Copies of this chain bind each other. A is one copy, B any other.
Amino acid sequence: MARSSKSLNEVLDQLREVGLKRTQARRAILDLLVREHGPFSSEEIHAKLKSHGCDLVTVYRNVIALEKVSLIRRCDFGDRVYRYEINDSHDDHHHVVCAKCSGVTVIDYCIPKKVLDSLKKKGYQNLECRLEIFGLCPQCSRGKSLESSLSDSRKNASPNN
């Protein structure tokens, strides 16, 4: 999966701009997200940082803080796990999520403007789309039994990667 197009320094500059201190914990978290992109859950972030990381609680607090100032964005794949990635603003890209391995790829399809325009015409404002596509990725599609039901695969698709 491609790394973020933002550099760590850019992101750390943004930290200062929004009035958050550049602590070791935030550096580590942002560094990870710049390098590996994610999206990752708080637990995954904590696990990946290991020794040079920080307390799980600190990850929880920081993803909330960083999302609040739009430095990172929260993704939701319908399994009650919040995952975070660097917020490369501009494009709303969307995800294809593997129901088995939870692997994520990005697609650049967007909801047609006319769909949103027709809603605006009815009086809706501040529209924002959330689109995720679920399925089995090519790897998991190979050599497996299809008998798994949707809800089964959802269950298996939790933090195990």
Contacts and interface: CB of A to CB of B under 8 A. Distances in A.
Interface of A: 64, 67-68, 76, 78, 80, 82, 96, 99, 107, 109, 111-112, 115-116, 119, 122-138, 141-142, 146, 149-151, 160
A128 B122 contact: no
Contact of A130 (B68, B127, B134): B134
A48 to B, nearest CB: 22
Given A78-B130, A80-B80, A149-B68, A124 B141 contact: yes
Given A80-B82, A133-B130, A138 B122 contact: yes
A67 B136 contact: no
B78 A151 contact: no
Contacts of A109: 111-112, 115
A99 B126 contact: yes
Contacts of A123: 137-138, 141-142
Contact of A141 (B116, B125, B131, B134): B125
A119 B141 CA distance: 12
Contact of A119 (B96, B128, B131, B146): B96
Contacts of A149: 68
Nearest to A79: B76
B130 A126 contact: no
